[in-house]
Structure 1
Amino acid sequence: MDGSETIAIPARVPLANTPLGVMASLRTGRRNVLELIPEIATRQPMVSGRTVKRWHMVMDPGANRRILKDRVEDYPKSDVTKLILKPAIGDSLFIAEGAHWLWQRRAAAPAFSVRHVQALAPVMTAAAERAAERIAAQFGRAADLFEEMVTATFEVISDVTFSGDEAFDRDAVHVAIGDYIASTARVSFLDIIGAPMWVPRPSRLFAGRAMREMKTMADRAIDRRRETGARPIPDLLDLLLEGEDPETKRRMNTAELRDNLLAFIVAGHETTALSLAWSLYLCAFDPAVQARAREEAQAALGGRAATVEDLPKLGYCRQIVDEALRLYPPAAFLSRTAKAHDTLCGREVRPGDTVMLPIYALHRSHKLWPNPDRFDPDRFADAGAIDRFAYLPFGGGPRICIGASFALQEAVIVLATLLSRFRFSQVTGREPKPVLIVTLRPEGGVWLNVADA
């Protein structure tokens, strides 16, 4: 199919066509960060400008490799990223830099080995079965599949972090995370103008009570686990308690364990829920894709929920997840601050410049993807042929998301289970709108009609 043909396009956001000043950037960023991205970013390798501070948006795989891998120490996470996330997840793997990041990464890595991630698959299978039971009760009417996927993935992350721990109030944690993302995690005017980190952001001064209570609760659960010992089947908390940096022999203390576990909870359920919700929306958008995936899932599963052993037979379901992550990457906008002089795409980068990787634009680049706004899972039939730094749903380089394999395993298990049992179709007038605050969420939910397969 050539670019001149009319093709059906799933939900997308109109990007900026005119330069935005400081106040317009603030209003736009608080409404939807995606709208800060200029449309031209989908057609050029790099776009630069100034909104008080100099900034660059990079959509070139070679430059992305330089930022995320070759010179990663010269491009630490931006102050804005740290200001938004640190109140929730402290100085965890997601925030830490340099030596502090490295020893935590080495200590946590064994917990996310292939063997341990596969051992956690029965929790995902059980959650898929429970989700199917809830959805079956909604036959013949519309259901918000985003909320259903949030419920399912939160069950999984809860069961694999603080499994069976009565001291950990899962509902309270769920509410605290939602409140934080809805209020405190929005971009402020002081973020836009590049004010120093020590200048208080009023919107974040009074929204921390639920997060503080959540941290206290997590501390108690960690201390209790130290006393009672590991579970018969170790969960992530057990594995992290045993983890140590092989170089320094350092282990995480209670605060470090808590911050990392909360980071895994926040990122682990939110991103997977979004991947699944967008995958289901896209399957409803394209019934032919859905039918092909259903046939594959039914042949592999025979009516039961998917397990980790089924994954090799669910290749097309995995391609759907990969394509959903291309069109709607949960972490759709990465931000770094340059520490040293550099050249990217032939353009000067100075210390202090903000360097942004708008993953949403990268994944829709006309230079990298044929018909980039089109939904086409067959792009990933040969995933090895895709430039590693043209497709970054989990970041790249040494700081690639430590839980990527966990998220993909869970997403395919849940998606295949649901597609094997149900037929989803669009609800007229209820198309979701992609909105980026911290993650790329479907504003208004993903409402789909549910029928028996």
Structure 2
Amino acid sequence: MLDFAIFAVTFLLILVGAVLYLYPSSRQACGIPGLAPTEEKDGNLQDVVNSGSLHEFLVNLHERFGPVASFWFGRRLVVSLGSLDLLRQHINPNKTSDPFQMMLKSLLGYQSGVIGEAAESHLQKKLYENGISKALQSNFNIILKLSEELLAKWNTYPQSQHVPLCQHMLGFAMKSVTQTAMGSSFEDDQEVIRFRKNHDAIWSEIGKGYIDGSIERSSNRKRLYEEALMEMENVLKKAIKERKLKNPGRHVFMDSLLQGNLSDKQVLEDSMIFSLAGCAITANLCIWAIYFLATSEGVQDKLYKEVTRVIGKGPLTVEKLDQLSYCRQILWETVRTASLTPISARLQELEGRVDQHTIPKETLVLYALGVVLQDNTAWPSAYRFDPDRFSDETTKQNLSLLGLSGSLECPELRFAYVVATVLLCVIVRKLNLLPVKGQVMETKFELVTSPKEEAWITVSKRS
């Protein structure tokens, strides 16, 4: 397979595309149990492809070799950590910038902020994070309005009508992200439809097309991907120009970037990352949360009681979000149960150790989050959707350690938590969410975990 395909599997490009090309390759054995290379050129790439996804490959790898295991990606040694204890040992001395942003920048061929001065990269990262936080505050009423529009639509459905959850949540997420990131021009549905077409074309190839090299073998697919990327960049360039030239009105994410002394190229790249990742994470968090609520009547009733107590008959406000502790537990448990982001990674810049194992320097270390999140020793009855498990402080700390809550969470996930909280409160306040009998949900593990097929629910009005 092509060399690019070797380095393009999901989160491996977080660092491989941007960093590992700078180091000489090595076949050095490290004594960590694992797979020998299946092929000289590709290492164990074909084993990953045969498993269906990198996540499913890692599940099998850790079942066979234990919580620390190795394999080969091309001529690169990769070490995967699949337990909370090992991740705790490795994360504490190896905190780096947000892996999701770095991964997407590498996939898209963007370099600014991937390799550069540490201080400059840190400042850009803080600007990015603060920009999302400020955009959420400034656009809270927009998110609330979009949630209420979706509620009004569902309110017209008879209980027998099946609601296409993936379709509706993708549309809702696209509107939320584009209006929060770029402003009122995306209140036009036709603009959102064009944005979604390009977004879907780019995201589908990033998530799957490179993992087996299939995009490189199809000139037509590669052309469509490159055209979609160019069109998306043109949309962002137009929005940047508009935000510069006229009174922008309410503050959006792009305004923070423009006020931060970044180059137009950096503004474009960061806006692209937020647009791509924000839409995918927000949509799938909402899909899984609503699906789990529909199949968990007791959890839904408990959420309804909290929403009624906190909000009453008044409006939902930013100040009330922090009081919705059970809703927050539901979203944390959604991320855990669905393994929303199944892989993360770090570069082992210097030689390190986990337990009795030595990890050579310049080794790519995978955090097998999907494996850890389904580990019964860390999460009793791991396959059961149980938000009450996060009443325990230790359990909260475990999720925070994985970068899925608290100070280490990626800014796109923080955005998604707020949007999903608003949506759940608006919907559950007025409607019962009901499952479709006989539906079997199969999961697609890519950069963000999603249902393989459309997810269906039904709704009924609360009395």
TM-score normalized with structure 1 length: 0.80
What residue in structure 2 maps to residue 175 of structure 1?
197
- C-alpha change, 1:112 and 1:164, in structure 2 (3 Å) is closer
**TM-fit CA distance, 1:36:** 1.1
Matched, 1:41 2:65: no
Task: State which of 447, 451, 455 in structure 2 corresponds to 1:446.
Answer: 455
RMSD: 3.4
Kept in 2: contact 1:362–1:390 (CA 8 A):
no
- C-alpha change, 1:267 and 1:252, in structure 2 (3 Å) is same
CA distance in 2, matches of 1:430, 1:327: 18
Kept in 1: contact 2:136–2:180 (CA 8 A):
no
CA distance in 1, matches of 2:142, 2:185: 15
Task: State which of 207, 222, 226 in structure 2 corresponds to 1:185.
Answer: 207
The one-letter amino acid paired with 2:179 is D
CA distance in 1, matches of 2:103, 2:412: 19
CA distance in 2, matches of 1:154, 1:108: 19
Task: State which of 311, 326, 329 in structure 1 corresponds to 2:336.
Answer: 326
- C-alpha change, 1:394 and 1:258, in structure 2 (3 Å) is farther
1:49-97 deviations in whole A, cap 9, x for unaligned? 3455432221344543454452246x9969x94686324xx3466x566
- C-alpha change, 1:388 and 1:407, in structure 2 (3 Å) is same
What residue in structure 1 maps to residue 167 of structure 2?
147
Question: SS at 1:369's partner residue?
Answer: coil
Matched, 1:368 2:391: no
The one-letter amino acid paired with 1:235 is V
Alignment of 1:132-143 (within 5 A): 132-140=151-159, 141-143=161-163
- C-alpha change, 1:212 and 1:288, in structure 2 (3 Å) is same
| 204-213 vs 285-294, greater mean Cα deviation | 204-213
Task: State which of 228, 231, 247 in structure 2 corresponds to 1:210.
Answer: 228
Alignment of 1:17-96 (within 5 A): 22=44, 24-28=46-50, 31-39=52-60, 41=62, 44-50=66-72, 52=74, 53-65=76-88, 67-72=90-95, 81=103, 85-87=107-109, 90-91=110-111, 95=114
Task: State which of 412, 420, 424 in structure 2 corresponds to 1:415.
Answer: 424
Kept in 2: contact 1:153–1:272 (CA 8 A):
yes
**TM-fit CA distance, 1:202:** 4.7
CA distance in 2, matches of 1:293, 1:211: 40
The one-letter amino acid paired with 1:328 is A
**Stretches of structure 2 lacking an aligned partner (at least 5 in a row):** 1-34, 39-43
Question: SS at 2:274's partner residue?
Answer: helix
| 426-435 vs 215-224, greater mean Cα deviation | 426-435
Question: SS at 1:128's partner residue?
Answer: helix
Kept in 2: contact 1:343–1:349 (CA 8 A):
yes
**Stretches of structure 1 lacking an aligned partner (at least 5 in a row):** 1-17, 193-199, 244-250
- C-alpha change, 1:184 and 1:406, in structure 2 (3 Å) is closer
- C-alpha change, 1:96 and 1:321, in structure 2 (3 Å) is farther
| 402-411 vs 125-134, greater mean Cα deviation | 402-411
What residue in structure 1 maps to residue 28 of structure 2?
none
What residue in structure 1 maps to residue 442 of structure 2?
433
| 39-48 vs 177-186, greater mean Cα deviation | 39-48
Kept in 2: contact 1:68–1:396 (CA 8 A):
no
The one-letter amino acid paired with 2:429 is S
The one-letter amino acid paired with 2:349 is K
- C-alpha change, 1:202 and 1:334, in structure 2 (3 Å) is farther
**TM-fit CA distance, 1:352:** 4.2
- C-alpha change, 1:69 and 1:242, in structure 2 (3 Å) is farther
**TM-fit CA distance, 1:440:** 0.5
**TM-fit CA distance, 1:299:** 3.6
CA distance in 1, matches of 2:292, 2:303: 12
**TM-fit CA distance, 1:120:** 2.6
Kept in 2: contact 1:172–1:214 (CA 8 A):
no
What residue in structure 1 maps to residue 411 of structure 2?
402
Higher helix share: 2
**TM-fit CA distance, 1:161:** 1.2
**TM-fit CA distance, 1:189:** 6.3
Kept in 2: contact 1:125–1:305 (CA 8 A):
no
Matched, 1:165 2:167: no
CA distance in 1, matches of 2:322, 2:442: 33
What residue in structure 2 maps to residue 228 of structure 1?
246
Question: SS at 1:48's partner residue?
Answer: strand
CA distance in 1, matches of 2:49, 2:314: 48
Number of residue pairs matched?
A: 414
CA distance in 1, matches of 2:431, 2:407: 38
Question: SS at 1:380's partner residue?
Answer: helix
**TM-fit CA distance, 1:123:** 1.7
CA distance in 2, matches of 1:129, 1:439: 26
What residue in structure 2 maps to residue 107 of structure 1?
127
CA distance in 2, matches of 1:390, 1:154: 27
Kept in 2: contact 1:338–1:354 (CA 8 A):
yes
CA distance in 2, matches of 1:96, 1:150: 32
- C-alpha change, 1:450 and 1:92, in structure 2 (3 Å) is farther
CA distance in 2, matches of 1:332, 1:124: 27
**TM-fit CA distance, 1:154:** 1.5
**TM-fit CA distance, 1:367:** 2.6
**TM-fit CA distance, 1:146:** 2.2
What residue in structure 1 maps to residue 148 of structure 2?
129
Higher RCO (CA-CA < 8 Å; seq separation 6+):
1
Identity of aligned residues (%): 18
What residue in structure 1 maps to residue 282 of structure 2?
272
TM-score normalized with structure 2 length: 0.78
Alignment of 1:215-294 (within 5 A): 215-231=233-249, 233-243=250-260, 251-294=261-304
The one-letter amino acid paired with 1:46 is V
CA distance in 2, matches of 1:239, 1:132: 31
